[in-house]
Amino acid sequence: MARSSVDMNFLFTLGELARLVRAHADRQSARYGITRAQWAVLAKVERFEGMKQSELAEQMEMQPITLTRLVDRLCDNGWIERRGDETDRRVNRLYLRKAARPLLAKLSGLRSEITETALEGISPADANRLLTQLEAIKENLRNAIQDQEDARKEQRYG
């Protein structure tokens, strides 16, 4: 692919890919009576049990009120519980409930199915190379954002 073609198509293709993955995951997660957003919250809580609800909202780049609604539903379904923080009563920490474990096992299988569908026809070596390249792209963009924030701070306080 010529550089001009990459320049013209990279961002659109990446955006369309993300949209298609979300749409497919939405449809597939519905088989288990859960939304993709709820699945994402469950997965984060599984990885970081005991994290503050406010930290989770920040990590997921979600408005706190939006996350609160998602967590409310997950609590109502018996999959997550909120526990108060021992040192700050304003803080809620999130924990998985026992009932979430079988669902997360099913969702792990679903994640594998979705990945297999997306990578159909791509060799494992190429898939690993692609993942490495996507991680590098992500790091490049994180660094660019950090550099912009640092420059903005320097202008203000310089």
pLDDT at site 152: 84
As a whole number of angstroms, the distance between CA 39 and CA 42 comes to 5
Residue 79 has pLDDT above 70, yes or no: yes
Tell me which H or E stretch contains 154.
Answer: helix 124-157
pLDDT at site 158: 60
As a whole number of angstroms, the distance between CA 17 and CA 24 comes to 11
Other CB atoms within 10 A of residue 37 CB: 19
pLDDT at site 3: 60
Contact 49, 96 (CB under 8 A): yes
Q: What is the DSSP string of 71-134?
A: HHHHHHTTSEEEEE-SS-TT-EEEEE-TTHHHHHHHHHHHHHHHHHHHTTT--HHHHHHHHHHH
Cα torsion 38, 91, 61, 64 to 10°: value is: 80
- Mean pLDDT (whole number) for 77-98: 92
Residue 57 has pLDDT above 90, yes or no: yes
Class of domain 3-120: mainly alpha
Reported as a single tens digit per residue, the pLDDT across 128-157 is: 999 999 999 999 999 999 999 888 888 877
Contact 41, 74 (CB under 8 A): yes
Q: Which DSSP category does 52 fall into? A: B
Q: Work out the mean pLDDT of the chain and round it to a whole number.
A: 92
Q: Where are the domains of the chain?
A: 3-120, 123-157
Residue 72 has pLDDT above 60, yes or no: yes
Reported as a single tens digit per residue, the pLDDT across 8-49 is: 899 999 999 999 999 999 999 999 999 999 999 999 999 999
